[in-house]
Chain A
Amino acid sequence: MSTIQLTVNGHEETIEVPPMKRLLDVLREDLHLTGAKEGCGEGECGACAVLIDGDLVNACLVPILQAEGTHITTIEGLVINEELHPIQQCFLKEGGAQCGICTPGMILATHHLLERHPQPSLLQIQEGLNGNLCRCTGYMRIFNAVRAAALTGVAE
């Protein structure tokens, strides 16, 4: 077992876990943050995407020891004063979420994209979200939600 210290959504956490335990399992089982989902478990679908020190990563591919000392943001951490984040509101308004399994990852990928490209082109949106699979929406409503979020100036 390893003692791991990390900051999750602004809270400092200290946990005793096997060092190869996946960050995704630590979030869901040890910290009871079930927003990040397990889809494929092999880094293809993005349902488990979170931010580590601001970088988008698939939490199913990160051994917890490599997250020691980092700051992690999950979908639960985007809420501001109990209000949904503007990106979340745009996904709701534009119908960018249906079954919801891909949505936390989609929203964090959008957050990551808009920080780097505040007014992304369609190509940049497609590339920014290309590691996040959705089997419901056909993506058009998701792209609309990302465009709407960009217009709110959320990242500026």
Chain B
Amino acid sequence: MRSNITQYDLIAPNSLDAVLQILADSPDHYTPIAGGTELMVALGAGRLQPKKLVSLWNLEELRFIEVTPDAIILGAGTTFTDIRKHPVVADEFSILAQAASWTGSIANQNRGTLGGNIVNASPAADSPPALLAYDAELTLISTRGARTLPYRDFHLAYKETALEPDELLHSVTISRNYKGYKTYIRKVGTRNAQAISKVAIAVLARVNKGHIEDIRIGAASVREYPARLSATEKSLTGKTITAESIAAARATILTEVRPIDDIRSTAKYRAAVAANLLEEFLLSFG
């Protein structure tokens, strides 16, 4: 059933401050919309609940990539095309570039934003595993000011986040101090292009002669939200990669993931593939 378009309102203030003021004056009344690759699908299907929307598209205060000596800061309004085109992302953040490349099609990448991908909070979102592996930090803003929190603490429950009704995601900060770390990312879906993941894993690790000094594992489609697999990380930290430590990590990841059966896959398949992907990464040091 198509939506009755006359019931919806959309406003497009020309500054970030104006948007924040609207959200402060009437929290819960306006739903932010950026590139529309999620909310417009709901509109077309007749299931877009919010009737009043405020556009963030092309707000220059949100669409930027800033590089400092220590970090890269990606504005929430940065599109996946912007991310793929950026030379520092391509050089230093290969698993983020890779994730951006398989986020929908080129047309979706021209409109879909990093902030939307995070705030929409889909368990199957494409950029979160890489952001979790990099231990990205989020900056949230409102008229009350700005605050930061680790991305790993942002998702609270299925489609529930730490974002307050008057807040916007402003930017994502990733450290550039990952020299010597090895990275891995793999998405398993029905086809390479444009498919929603059955399971995806991203890993960032410092491994010295087979000894794991530090490891972070981000995963999608294995929990009710994108999540770090900290128990699995703990089972590997300080260990040497051997058949035994791989078997122990497999056992841990199988208990740590809590996937579901749905139209795209089964819980059993997802758990097994998550373990296989982690093993594939660990075996790459052999």
Taking a contact as CB atoms under 8 Å apart, the answer to whether B55 and A128 are in contact is no
Taking a contact as CB atoms under 8 Å apart, the answer to whether B37 and A61 are in contact is yes
A49 to B107 alpha-carbon distance, docked (Å): 8
Q: Using Cβ atoms and an 8 Å threshold, which residues of chain B touch A113? A: 106
Partner of A131, one of B6, B36, B43, B106: B106
A–B pairs, 17, beta carbons within 8 Å: A18-B5, A19-B8, A19-B11, A19-B12, A20-B10, A22-B5, A41-B45, A43-B37, A43-B41, A49-B107, A58-B108, A63-B36, A65-B55, A66-B55, A66-B58, A68-B12, A109-B106
Q: Which of A2, A20, A56, A62 is packed against the most chain B CB atoms within 10 Å?
A: A20
A16-62 with Cβ < 8 A to chain B? 18-22, 25, 41-44, 46, 49, 55-58, 60-62
Minimum Cβ distance to chain A for residue B7 (Å): 9
A20 to B2 alpha-carbon distance, docked (Å): 13
- Contacts A19-B12, A20-B9 known; list 12 others, CB within 8 Å: A46-B107, A55-B81, A58-B108, A62-B40, A62-B111, A63-B10, A63-B53, A65-B10, A66-B36, A66-B55, A131-B108, A131-B194
* Nearest 6 interchain pairs by C-beta: A131-B105, A130-B193, A20-B8, A19-B10, A61-B40, A41-B44
A1 and chain B: residue at smallest CB distance: B6
Q: CB within 8 Å of A: which residues of B?
A: 5-6, 8-12, 33, 35-37, 40-41, 43-45, 53, 55, 57-58, 81, 101, 104-108, 110-111, 192-194
Taking a contact as CB atoms under 8 Å apart, the answer to whether B107 and A131 are in contact is yes
Q: Using Cβ atoms and an 8 Å threshold, which residues of chain B touch A18? A: 5-6, 8
A112 within 8 Å of B by Cβ? yes
Taking a contact as CB atoms under 8 Å apart, the answer to whether B193 and A127 are in contact is yes
Q: Using Cβ atoms and an 8 Å threshold, which residues of chain A touch B44? A: 22, 41-42, 60-61
Q: Using Cβ atoms and an 8 Å threshold, which residues of chain B touch A49? A: 107
Taking a contact as CB atoms under 8 Å apart, the answer to whether B37 and A20 are in contact is no
Taking a contact as CB atoms under 8 Å apart, the answer to whether A55 and B37 are in contact is no
Q: Using Cβ atoms and an 8 Å threshold, which residues of chain B touch A60? A: 40, 44
Q: Which of B9, B35, B41 is packed against the most chain A CB atoms within 10 Å?
A: B41
Taking a contact as CB atoms under 8 Å apart, the answer to whether B110 and A57 are in contact is yes
Taking a contact as CB atoms under 8 Å apart, the answer to whether B33 and A63 are in contact is yes
